[in-house]
Chain A
Amino acid sequence: ETGVTQSPTHLIKTRGQQVTLRCSSQSGHNTVSWYQQALGQGPQFIFQYYREEENGRGNFPPRFSGLQFPNYSSELNVNALELDDSALYLCASSPSQGGFEQYFGPGTRLTVT
């Protein structure tokens, strides 16, 4: 196991609602990235946090936002949920920014109805 944990495991929300997903990084890792994976697709990079600062962002609208805490755990917040937000949300931790190997948590499966 990677030591990366995510909660909750599954979540069902209604369109327009807001959701917060949580991730605890592997011990010794200060960098967390978030991904969205739709069925049959590869993970899409949402953003990366390094030492509590966002230092990279993919093509996602501002209603996707995040935080990283001093213990390097992280949250992903999604506002105004849309049906297309239904996906597996993955968190990955790495020892630092800059192209290191990433280790994934088990993911949160979000369904928006």
Chain B
Amino acid sequence: RKEVEQDPGPFNVPEGATVAFNCTYSNSASQSFFWYRQDCRKEPKLLMSVYSSGNEDGRFTAQLNRASQYISLLIRDSKLSDSATYLCVVNDPGTYKYIFGTGTRLKVLA
């Protein structure tokens, strides 16, 4: 089993739609979780950290489910500018490694 797994997509959704991505992780001791957004041939940009209680930033909501070892990202009212690859990241507390998933591609269609 991969340390961090994401559905690669692509997810093609119309503008205004709600879309959700999941990311599973294998190390139950992991403590820090993040979502990054990456545009084509650019560096990853931090979208949000994921806290145990869940957190929301405008149209974006992140959740953590420790029992099932996954994190999720929900995007409401999708915009064309949301088209990108979304990367989930898990920090390994024992080795300081940050482990990225392969990313989920989102394309928002007009």
State the A residues within 8 Å of B (CB): 2, 33, 35, 40-45, 48, 50, 55-58, 88, 90, 92, 97-107
Q: Does B87 contact A (CB under 8 A)?
A: yes
Taking the closest CB of chain B, its distance from the CB of A91, in whole angstroms, is 9
User: How many angstroms between the C-alpha atoms of A88 and B100 in the bound complex?
Assistant: 15
Q: A90-B43, A90-B44, A101-B46 are in contact. Are A45 and B93 (CB under 8 A)?
A: no
Taking the closest CB of chain A, its distance from the CB of B28, in whole angstroms, is 15
* Neighbour of A58 across the interface among B42, B97, B103, CB < 8 A: B97
User: How many angstroms between the C-alpha atoms of A90 and B44 in the bound complex?
Assistant: 9
User: How many residue-residue contacts, CB under 8 A, span A and B?
Assistant: 58
By the criterion CB–CB under 8 Å, are A98 and B96 in contact? yes
Number of interface residues of B (CB under 8 A): 24
Residue of A nearest to B91 (CB): A99
Give 9 A-B pairs besides A90-B43, A106-B43 with Cβ atoms closer than 8 angstroms: A2-B45, A42-B87, A42-B102, A43-B100, A55-B96, A56-B97, A98-B96, A102-B89, A106-B42
